Amino acid sequence: MSDRDREWAALMRQARGGDRAAYDRLLREIAQAMRPLVRRGLVRHGGNASDTEDVVQDILIAVHLKQHTWDENRPFAPWLSALARYKTIDALRRRGRRAEVPIEDFNDTLAAPPAEDPLAARDVTRSLEKLPERQRAVVRTIAVEGASIAQTAERLRMSEGAVRAALHRGLASLGRNGERTR
């Protein structure tokens, strides 16, 4: 087990105990470590390097939603690698499917001005707009304004439990976004 693996495992244990700072640090380190790996994976398998950030975000959401599938008695890195690999392949598969569009349609798309910013970060913004109003308000308040759960509850006049539930549901559908919309 490497030092980094031990460190990440420790951070995840702290996060599970409710330590927000540890969790924040863990996610930042994961994003940083995954970015070059994802980019390389995408490019090597005929994907688009500009999708990197999108896949990194998919990985972060999956880490969050599936963290209970990491067993504390096992090393962390193999779990993370397998998860990241799955999400990268998933992104390639979705792109591959899109590439099956008939060539005529493709020409139309090329001729028309780009309807959207090709930068992947925009994809997640788009999906945010598809969330039900309440979930969107909660996610936006926390993400953009940096509010805590308690502050969000107060601002939106919801109970903290309702904020947590809306946040979880919102993140779950952000995670499923790629499966449904692309």
Partner 1 sequence: MKTDDLIRTLSAEPPARGMTVAARLALALVPGLAVAALLFAVILGPRDDVATAFGHVRFVLKPIEALALAALAALVLVRLAQPGAGASLLALLAVPAALLLAVAVELVLVPRAQWATLWVGDNWARCLSLIPLLALAPLAAALLALRHGAPTRPALAGAVAGVLAGGLGAALYAIHCTDDSPLFVATWYTLAIAVTAGLGTFLGARLLRW
153 token code pair: 């509850």
Q: Which ranges of 112-148 does DSSP label H, i.e. alpha helix?
A: 121-130, 133-145
Binds partner 1 by CB under 8 A, chosen from 4, 6, 66, 97: 66
Q: Which ranges of 18-159 does DSSP label H, i.e. alpha helix?
A: 20-44, 52-66, 76-98, 103-111, 121-130, 133-145, 149-156
Residue placing its CB nearer to partner 1 in the complex, 73 or 106: 73
Separation CA 87–CA 93 (nearest Å): 10
Binds partner 1 by CB under 8 A, chosen from 85, 95, 134, 155: 85
Binds partner 1 by CB under 8 A, chosen from 45, 168, 169, 173: 168
Binding site for partner 1 (CB under 8 A): 15-16, 18-20, 22-24, 27-28, 31, 53, 56-57, 60-62, 64-71, 74, 78-83, 85-86, 90, 121, 124-125, 128, 139, 142-144, 146-149, 152, 164, 167-168, 171, 175-176, 179
